[in-house]
DNA sequence: CCTTGACCTTCCAGTTACTGGAAACATTAC
DNA sequence: GTAATGTTTCCAGTAACTGGAAGGTCAAGG
């Protein structure tokens, strides 16, 4: 069992955010210490890491809730699970392409503009591809 | 020259957001029509597409401002440009790894939970890798 | 020319997802 | 035992939109 600070370290989330997620019922601590400290188990740690990743790619908290429920809602049919997962996978693949494109653009910029004098770097005109 | 609606379509951003970016001085329209309509050129379209991408990967508006300034601030030395670009590239590479990991997790879920009966899918316990 | 509908304008209020800070209690380190 | 650090709740503030009202503009059809 981890206190909120240890949980924050383990998940690479701010303490404030972990507490916020508990407040909105996204990831509840598995219990409280005698003195009222939130206590998290490995399971919650894993959920929080998953959420941090999903959030950092623009999935809303609501969408994270839905993604988590894929694993937890015993009432939901496998068909639903698969449908939602596949929809998200398509989005992720689109994001992967865009992220690679962004990477390429910045790499080109770093390569091109590497002297002491400022070169022209007219890269914006090519930034939309 | 594009009106704000055409610009929104071309950049895949909501009209509201394009107007908001003008309000905060992130991307100004290159001019106004006689009747006061915002008018955008290809250059602004490209900037907006670049920003949409960067935003969707968690770069703040302030960071987008900095990234755009890499191309525009004639006072900034090439050394700075390269340093900032390299820092961002490192972040993007980390994001790429995490996005690939997210993709793998959801693909595994979609594959595993594909019958008509709900299988156990105890994937959360492996979600932190 | 007139009207209808889709566009645009400004302004202001509301939302999402945090984020910072105060006051007070708990735990750990010396 | 006391100082530093960590935790609690609560409340206010911020970033980046987002929705809606009230009104001006523009192209198409009658």
Measured between alpha carbons, how far is A37 from B68 in angstroms, rounded to an integer?
45
Which chain A residues have a beta carbon less than 8 Å from that of B93? 103
Please, what are the domains in chain B? Answer: 1-57 (1.10.1660.10)
List, in sequence order, every residue forming a beta bridge with B38; answer none if it has no partner: B32
Other CB atoms within a 10 A radius of the CB of residue A38 amount to: 21
Summarize pLDDT for A90-126 with one digit per residue, the tens: 989 988 998 998 888 888 777 766 544 444 444 444 4
User: In angstroms, rounded to a whole number, what is the distance separating the alpha carbons of residues B79 and B44?
Assistant: 26
pLDDT averaged over chain B?
83
Does residue B101 carry a pLDDT above 80?
yes
Give the other-Cβ count within 10 Å of A106's Cβ: 22
Q: Comparing B5 with B89, which gets the higher pLDDT?
A: B5
| Token pair of B47 as six digits | 């900037």
The answer to whether the CB atoms of A124 and B92 lie below 8 A apart is: no
The b-or-e profile of A39-64 (16+ CB within 10 A means b, else e) is bbeeebbbbbbbbbbbbebebeeeeb
Hey, which residues 42-101 in chain B have their CB within 8 Å of chain A? 42-43, 45-47, 49-50, 53-54, 56-58, 70-72, 74, 76-79, 81-82, 85-86, 88-89, 92-93, 95-96, 98-101
Question: What's the average model confidence in pLDDT over A17-21?
Answer: 98
pLDDT at A78: 63
pLDDT of residue B22: 98
Contacts of A33 (CB under 8 A, 6+ apart): A3, A39
For the CA of A42 and the C1' of C23, the distance in angstroms is 32
Which of A22-31, A69-78, B116-125: highest mean pLDDT? A22-31
Length B20 CA → C11 C1' (Å): 13
pLDDT for B3: 97
pLDDT digits (tens, 9 = 90+) for A28-84: 999 999 999 999 999 899 999 989 988 988 889 999 998 888 767 655 666 676 777
B30 touches strand C (CB under 7 A): no
The answer to whether A41 CB sits below 7 Å from nucleic acid chain D is: no
Chain B residues near residue A125 by CB distance under 8 angstroms: 42-43, 46
Q: Alpha carbon of B27 to those of A58, A97, A126, B16, B61: distances in Å?
A: 22, 24, 17, 13, 11
B3-44 pLDDT, tens per residue? 999 999 999 999 999 999 999 999 999 999 999 999 999 999
Among A101, A113, A124, whose Cβ lies nearest the Cβ of B78? A113
Query: What tens digit of pLDDT does each residue of B65-86 get?
Result: 988 887 676 556 667 767 778 8
pLDDT of B75 reads: 56
More confident residue, A23 or B91: A23
Rounded to a whole number of angstroms, the distance from the CA of A34 to the nearest CA of chain B is 27
pLDDT score at A129: 42
Q: Do B57 and A58 touch (CB under 8 A)?
A: yes
Q: What percent of chain B has pLDDT over 90?
A: 46
Nearest CA distance, A8 vs chain B (angstrom):
14
Q: Please give the torsion angle defined by the CA atoms of residues A125, B93, B55 and B99, in that order, rounded to the nearest 10 degrees.
A: 130
Distance CA B19, CA B25 (A): 10
Portion of chain B with pLDDT greater than 70, in percent:
78
pLDDT at B15: 97
User: Residues of A with CB below 8 A from B51's CB?
Assistant: none
pLDDT at position A74, please?
54
């Amino acid at each position: 069992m981890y206190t909120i600070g240890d949980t924050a370290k383990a998940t690479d989330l701010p303490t404030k955010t972990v507490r916020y997620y508990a407040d909105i019922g996204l990831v509840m601590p598995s219990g409280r210490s005698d003195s009222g400290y939130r206590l998290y188990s490995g399971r919650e740690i894993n959920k929080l890491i998953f959420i941090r990743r999903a959030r950092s790619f623009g999935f809303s908290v609501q969408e994270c809730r839905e993604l988590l429920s894929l694993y937890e809602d015993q009432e939901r049919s496998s068909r639903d699970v698969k449908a939602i997962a596949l929809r998200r996978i398509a989005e992720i693949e689109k994001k992967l392409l865009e992220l690679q494109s962004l990477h390429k653009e910045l790499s080109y910029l770093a390569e091109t503009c590497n002297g002491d004098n400022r070169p022209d770097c007219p890269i914006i005109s090519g930034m939309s591809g």
